[in-house]
Each structure stands twice: as structure tokens, then as C-alpha cells.
Amino acid sequence: MRIAVGQMWQETNTFNRNPTSLDDFENWGVAVGSEVVEQYGQTGELGGFLDACGKWNPAIEFLGLARFACWPWGAVDGNAWEQIQSRVRRQLEAALPVDAVFLALHGAMSADGENDLTGALLEIVRNSVGPDVPIVGTLDLHANITDRMLQNADLLVGYHACPHLDSFETGQRAAAGLRKMLEENVRPVTYSRKLPMITAAENHNTFTGIPAPLYRRLEELERDADVLSAGLYMAMPWFDVPNLGWTVTLTTTGKKTRWKTDVNQLADECWNLRADMENVERYQPRDAVDRALAHGGHPVVIGDGADATNSGSPGDQVHLLKEFLARDHIPHGALTFLVDPEAVNVARQAGVGQTFQAAVGGGFAPEYCEPIEFRGTVERLLDVDFVLDGHIGKNMPIHMGKGAVVTSGNVAVLFVEKTGPGSTPSLYETGGLDPRTFGIVVAKSPSGFRAEYEPFAAEILSADCPGCASANWPRLNFFRVNRPLWPLNQIESPTEAKWCGGVRVD
Ligand SMILES: [Zn+2]
């Protein structure tokens, strides 16, 4: 049996106006043909899928298509999208005939002039393989599900965990679904319902947060032999495209008649949670730092969700850094990072032990912050490369370019050339900085950082700063989304949003 495998993964923040280029994908590692399995066969969803299929008998022959992955950022530019399409198409045509196709996808990815790259890629693959070859994909829990995705894929399997600790297991679940399709000759039927709502990511925790019971329900549904996949996609909210909203999905063998009722029940429960989901305690930068200083223990970790690199914000905002520098003394010091290639360059020019002086911050999203003057000492120069395990990544190679650690008094800043996970202590550790020893630490992440910081944080606070991933919705200029969309519009019932429709069957 021959299965073609590939990956297209990025989360697009349409409020970050800096495009994602082919260079960005190449920085994160483009792989073509056999390189896909050789280089990324142990990584994330692809790793989980290959691990599960690797145990099948007779052995499967895997045919690598292409792997284009890079960290969340602005919309993909036309050239990069053209390259992704042509590489996948060419490799797939060379691989045919195949018995199935597996794609590791994100589900909230757009390009210049194309709002739904995920659906578009699935359509390209469907047109190549024809109607009868199963196409299976994995998605982030923040995917924005579209009709085009549902029409072209047989089975989509999303993360059930936020923080996203189940990328590998999601690949395994996709393999189990495919196996059922192949062995039992199942043509899956997917029931889905779109909801006209987006919500703040701070409350997306599926372990202890408000939506946790809904995810336990999905797990229960997947224990039914007739269910191939149950999904609740909370939608990347900083994704200004038509049809943005939460989606409930249930992919089944079609044998029972109650699936429509199950989807409606789940969707209604989601809708009823919307006000609670939006209830987040956030502090203005000054208040957040005051609160952190008033706390007896350390470190106090401040989540800056508005500049979350994990949500596609550029990681260039200095609202909290400015507050740190304004304080006479921060016991144990403060630690943050900034995506600022100019500052890295200045530090490298100066050299270790030398004085650093530059205006820093706001290099990518100047509409949300003014640069600030920063004077300090260059402590260390490095390549910011590490392997991400935990939230979002499993065995995921991270390349954030050159970096520099610069200190000013007891404030330490890790400057990096390129974006990357703002949720993990590993980023600071790569720079020789141990966040456990600091008084205040900034994580540029709304909620995923809790997975790794909670075990040692004295307290965790959420900041309310401006930025491309702010949950202060009126600050953002949504103009492509379908309306009404809660909470941009105050609606009482999802039926007021005619664009959503009821349960869809594919
Ligand atoms: Zn996500």
C-alpha cells in the first residue's frame, strides 16, 4: 500500500501586515520528496501518523510530497503560495497511483488573494487523485473550518488539547481513522455546524478551562466505533476572513441517525459558554508590573497575549519592557524577548561585553507601539536554534536566527532575528537565561505558555497591551469576516447569523 504524505503548516494573523515569504519557509526547513519522511518523520502530527501506520501489516510505502512549515506570522505571499502548490502538485503526480494521502495542516492559513490555503491545497490534491482515494488531514484546534475543506477531505482530525500537547497523538488518531476507512471500506460522512463566534485565547484551556467538559465529550464520542473523528475548532480569532467562527464536526461511518442531534447539542453548549469565554482578567502594563512586584514569590510570569508570537503577532512590542525600565529596582530582575533583527545586528557589531545602544521595538507593527531607547551591555551572542517539545511542537526544530542577550541593570532582553515560540522557557534557556531565577518573566502567548510555566511560576498574570493579537476586539479592524459575528456584534442567537446555516453534511 502506498500513502503520500506532506505538510503545510502556518497560522496566519491577518493583522500582522508583514507577509510570510518563501525565505521564511526555507528558514524553517522546506523538504521535498523523500526528505519529508527522512527529516521530519519524527515531528509532530506527521511523526504520529507515520508511527501508527508503521505498525500496519503489510508494510506501507510512504511517498513524501513536500513540507512547508513556518511559525505564525502575516499572510503568505503570492510567490510562496505558488511554490507550495507547484511542489505538492508535481510530487503528487510523480507518486501516483497512491492508496491514500495524508496532510499535516493547520487550518487557519491565508495568502494574498486566497483566504483558505488549507481548503485550496486539499482541492488541488483531490483534483489530482480523483474522488475515490481517501484524503486525511490533521488540523490545529484553532482551524477555521470551511466548506472547501469539508468537500475535499474525507477525514479531518483536530487537536483535542490546548495547550497543544497532542500533535503526535493527533497524527495517530488520523492514522486510526484512515485504517478504518481502508479496512472496512468506509466512506465517511461528516456532520458540521459553524457558530458565529470568536473568543479570547486566554480561556481556551481544554484541561482545566471553561471548554474542558466539551473536549471530554469529544473523547467520549470518539470511543464510539462508528465515529472516526470528533472536533471542536475554537478558530484563530485574528484571522479576518469570510466565515470565521467556531466549528463543531463529527466524522462518522454514517451508520447512526443521531449524529446531527449530537452536533447540534455540542454547538448549542458552545454558544452558551461564549460570555464566560470572554471573561478574562487582564492588567494594563503598569498594573501588571505593580502586581508582580507586590507578589512575594518569583517568578511571576506575565502572558502578553496581544504580542503572542504563537498567534502570529510579530513579538516586537515593548509595552512591558518600557515598564520594567521605568522601575528603580526589580528584585531578581525581569526577563523578556523581542523580535528585532536591527537590535541583534547592533549587538553583534558591538560585541560581547560592550555597550549596546539603540531604539528597540515596533519594527514590524509600529502601529501598536513606539520604539524605546535601550542602553545596556551585550552579555552573549548566539544562534537561537532549539528543539520544541510541548505546546505546539513535538520534536520540532526551531530556527529563530541570530540572537543577543543584552542587560540593562537587572532587566535582561533576548533579542532574536526571527519569530518563534513565545510560550516556552526553552527559548530563554537557549540564551543561557533561566526564567526560574527571575522576578518577572514575559511569555508572548495568551494561554499555551501555562503548560511549561505553571509548574514553577509563583503567579501567572495576563497583560492588556495593544498588539496584532489583542483580544480587545474594538481595537482591531475586522472587515472581511461575515457579520453578525459575536462579540463584534451583540447577538442573542446563532440563528441571527444566516451565513452560518445549520448542520452541514458532507
Ligand atoms: Zn492553536
Q: What does the pLDDT look like over 475-494, one tens digit per residue?
A: 899 999 999 999 999 999 99
Q: What's the 141 CA to ligand 1 centre distance in angstroms?
A: 5
- Comparing C-alpha atoms, which of 119, 64, 109 is closest to residue 90? 64
pLDDT higher than 90, residue 458: yes
Q: Is the pTM of this model over 0.85?
A: yes
Residue 43 cell numbers, joined: 515531528
Q: What's the 410 CA to ligand 1 centre distance in angstroms?
A: 34
Which pLDDT value is given to residue 256?
A: 87
Q: Is 275 exposed, middle or buried (0-12, 13-18, 19+ CB in 10 A)?
A: exposed
Q: What's the 233 CA to ligand 1 centre distance in angstroms?
A: 9
User: Strands of 396-408's sheet, edge to edge?
Assistant: 282-283, 459-463, 300-303, 440-443, 334-339, 411-416, 396-408, 372-388, 355-360
**% of the chain surpassing 70 pLDDT:** 100
Which pLDDT value is given to residue 411?
A: 98
Q: Beta partners for 114?
A: 111
Q: What does the pLDDT look like over 9-58, one tens digit per residue?
A: 999 999 999 999 999 999 999 999 999 999 999 999 999 999 999 999 99
- Comparing C-alpha atoms, which of 391, 397, 497 is closest to residue 447? 391
Burial 89-113 (b: 16+ CB within 10 A, else e): bebbeebeebebbbbbbbbbbbbee
For residue 255, name the pLDDT band (cuts at 50, 70, 90).
confident
Q: What's the 236 CA to ligand 1 centre distance in angstroms?
A: 7
For residue 74, name the pLDDT band (cuts at 50, 70, 90).
very high
For residue 330, name the pLDDT band (cuts at 50, 70, 90).
very high
For residue 104, name the pLDDT band (cuts at 50, 70, 90).
very high
Q: What's the 140 CA to ligand 1 centre distance in angstroms?
A: 5
Q: What's the 284 CA to ligand 1 centre distance in angstroms?
A: 25
Cβ atoms 440, 421 nearer than 8 A: no
Q: In which residue are the cell numbers 465515529 written?
A: 227
Cβ atoms 66, 35 nearer than 8 A: no
Which pLDDT value is given to residue 329?
A: 94
